[in-house]
Chain A
């Protein structure tokens, strides 16, 4: 989740944010997602440094070569770790009353913003998936929202977020509240008689009432 001080601009200042638009959810991927790449970067740096130690110190006894090459290895590892952390920090999801937004900014490499306007689409399906032991233990999972008409991706995926179940339920609540007409009884159940809207059971089983009125 973000702190308020981190929000420095309103979502979508062009066109201007609607007065009634409110932020319902702000999420980014779980922190555990960056643990493994950072860990592997450190392990690889240690392994390469060990090899350089063997080569330059034990084989040819050149301390200068060893130090200069290890410095470069440390620099590469630090740069890689900084990139992993910044990329993770600049990838987040926002749900407002009017839109779902995915921002993925990789400084110097790419810039990706997926903005789905909710009053242009209707969500037909919200899937919550949590697979794997680590994901179960740390409560990491995906929330996949399918829309009734194709956006450029057809599905909106919130990947590797914390507490996907609560997020999914919140999303389904938020998306349904915005479209109360979709929650009404479908037309084929309606009866002309407003006192007996579900008269179909009486027609099938005359004389038997199932308590549906």
Chain B
């Protein structure tokens, strides 16, 4: 049963990491609009994207903690 749990945790970890990378790229490309287009994102929206990236990697750490707890 533990083996199934670990597989589930790893799946969640992969999804979280993928979303973290996606959020990072999304924030970078949103910032890029400032250089390429005629409009810049407001500060609040930029902060939201950065917070999103931060949360993604915090969640990855938390899931990693659960996996380690189960293994050790």
| A107 pairs with B33, CB closer than 8 A | yes
| A103 pairs with B12, CB closer than 8 A | no
> Which of A6, A8, A64, A94 sits near B69, CB closer than 8 Å?
A64
Chain B: interface secondary structure?
A: helix
| B48 pairs with A72, CB closer than 8 A | no
Contact-residue bracket for chain B? 35 or more
| B33 pairs with A105, CB closer than 8 A | yes
| A82 pairs with B52, CB closer than 8 A | yes
Nearest B residue to A63 via CB reads B66
| A78 pairs with B40, CB closer than 8 A | no
Contact partners of A62 in chain B: CB under 8 A = 5
| A68 pairs with B66, CB closer than 8 A | yes
| A78 pairs with B59, CB closer than 8 A | no
Contact partners of A107 in chain B: CB under 8 A = 26, 29-30, 32-33
Q: Which of B27-63 contact A (CB under 8 A)?
A: 29-30, 32-34, 37-42, 45, 48-49, 52, 55-56, 59, 62-63
| A82 pairs with B49, CB closer than 8 A | yes
The answer, yes or no, to whether A71 is at the interface (CB within 8 Å) is yes
Smallest CB–CB gap between A64 and chain B, Å? 4
Contact partners of B55 in chain A: CB under 8 A = 74-75, 78
Smallest CB–CB gap between B26 and chain A, Å? 5
Chain A: interface secondary structure?
A: helix
Given contacts A6-B39, A64-B69, A86-B30, are A72 and B15 in contact (CB under 8 A)? yes
* Interface size of A in residues (CB-CB distance below 8 Å): 32
> Which of A9, A67, A85, A86 sits near B66, CB closer than 8 Å?
A67
The answer, yes or no, to whether A76 is at the interface (CB within 8 Å) is yes
Please report A residues at the B interface, Cβ cutoff 8 Å.
2, 6-11, 62, 64-65, 67-69, 71-72, 74-76, 78-79, 82-83, 85-86, 89-90, 92, 94, 103, 105, 107-108
In order of increasing CB-CB distance, the 9 nearest A-B pairs are: A107-B29, A71-B59, A107-B30, A64-B66, A108-B29, A68-B12, A68-B63, A9-B38, A75-B19
